[in-house]
Amino acid sequence: MRVYLLLIWTWTRAAARYPVSFTLMTVGGCVTAGLDVAVIWVIFANTTTLGGLGLSEVMFLYGTAGLAFSLADLLFSNADRISQHIRAGTFDAMLIRPVGTFVQITADRFTPHRAGRVLQAAVVLGIGLARLDVPVTRAWMIPVMVLSGLVIFTSIWALGGALQFLLTDAPEIANAFTYGGAQLTQYPLSVYGADLVRGVTYVLPLAFVNWQPGLYVLGREDPLGLPYWLRFLSPAAAAAMAAVAALAWRSGVRRYRSTGS
């Protein structure tokens, strides 16, 4: 962790040497992410509920999912750039350094301006919570779901990176599940089909990013009638995903045979 922090601090200092560019890109990321919120406002300008939830509840779900995803995007999304290092042969140098390859990959060319998306998601979450009457007895779940979501999204990026050892150049596959998953979790899962909801509950656990724990925080019944105890399994789902991702990453590194150059 110390090495990772030192590496991202180095890249942050490098970006800060160009303050105007850094500020514009950070603000631009925040504004771009804000367009998603504008879409939600447009929807609620024409209806009072979405998937059985009101505006404040949807903002809460958007904020928690957005905060988890944007933190993972800021800190670990560079894992999908491993194909570039494999093709260029620069991954060989990472193997002989006394630091884990995942740490080196995710910290390489760290882009601090993505923090704008983190700020935007945090603001939306704060507004949503201010408009809701969440009891203190259920509010403890909020940081748990954000941290679990962070681990789940990071694990998906790690799995996508591990897949590059086999496919060499197909980062879009991982992006379909990371950025696609972020888009999916911005809205109540009750707006999707039952088969899709079961898939993101029992196969790829995106439902544990914000939907299942969110139902507990909001005191809502599950529209699909899934078991109540699923609402408390976000940490377990995150731990399982992290274990699978770690095994896949190590397997990919062991499979790596360099470029032959």
Is residue 216 within 8 A of residue 148, CB to CB? The reply is no
- Below-70 pLDDT ranges, the chain: 168-171, 259-261
168 SS3 class: coil
Give pLDDT, residue 71: 93
d(Cα 16, Cα 69) in Å, to the nearest integer?
24
Give pLDDT, residue 88: 80
Which alpha helices (H) appear in the chain, and where do they start and end?
2-16, 19-44, 55-76, 82-88, 91-95, 101-107, 115-131, 136-139, 141-167, 171-185, 194-202, 211-218, 234-255
**Phi, psi (deg, nearest 5) at residue 53:** -115, 150
Q: Which residues of 190-210 are buried (b: 16+ CB within 10 A; e: fewer)?
A: beeeeeebeebbeeebbbbbb
Give pLDDT, residue 171: 65
Give pLDDT, residue 209: 95
d(Cα 83, Cα 8) in Å, to the nearest integer?
20
Give pLDDT, residue 260: 56
